[in-house]
């Protein structure tokens, strides 16, 4: 499955299987449950679309851009970057993360393993609770280490 197929699969999966209201705080999760998948990375990182939420995984600020206008740079919060360009940056960062070997105690290794685990849960259509738990663990790594987007792991 190529990146765009994976992205659309992930977004469709979340759209079809997670109808949790974002205002509801579940007691069995440490972080707020997000309802909407990001148009760049496809993970559940947004409270709602077009509300200028910032994705913690790819750092895209959601201005409402989607597949129908992915080649148009709107000049808003994401500057002159198009959705397609942001997807390419995320894809390259994710590929780099997956292709490299890291020391066991390297934070990138932790993120890599947690992303692989979460992606496999989604692909295998595991239980919502398992997916939410894996998602929460990935959020905790990003927040606990003040990481602002996957590509920031590779910036010099």
Alpha-carbon gap, residue 99 to 119, rounded angstroms: 16
CA dihedral angle for residue 103, residue 105, residue 109, residue 111, rounded to 10 degrees: -170
Question: Could you state, in order of their start, the residue ranges of all structural domains in the chain?
Answer: 3-150
**Angle 143-151-58 from CA coordinates, rounded to 5°:** 60
- Is the pLDDT at 119 greater than 90? The verdict is yes
Phi, psi of 86 (to 5 degrees): -65, -40
3-state secondary structure (DSSP) of residue 61? strand
pLDDT at 22: 46
pTM: 0.84
pLDDT at 15: 83
The two structure tokens encoding residue 35 = 């309802």
């Amino acid at each position: 499955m190529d990146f765009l197929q994976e992205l659309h699969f992930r977004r469709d999966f979340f759209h079809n299987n997670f109808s949790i209201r974002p205002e509801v705080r579940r007691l069995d999760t440490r972080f707020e449950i997000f309802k909407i998948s990001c148009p760049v990375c496809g993970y559940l990182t947004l409270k709602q679309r077009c509300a200028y939420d910032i994705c913690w995984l790819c750092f895209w600020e959601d201005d409402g851009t989607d597949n129908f206008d992915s080649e148009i740079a709107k000049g808003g919060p994401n500057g002159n970057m198009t959705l397609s360009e942001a997807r390419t940056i995320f894809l390259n960062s994710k590929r780099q993360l997956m292709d490299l070997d890291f020391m066991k105690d390297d934070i990138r290794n932790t993120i890599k393993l947690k992303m692989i685990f979460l992606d496999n849960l989604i692909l295998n259509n595991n239980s919502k609770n398992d997916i939410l738990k894996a998602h929460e663990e990935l959020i905790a790594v990003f927040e606990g280490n003040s990481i602002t987007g996957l590509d920031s792991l590779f910036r010099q």
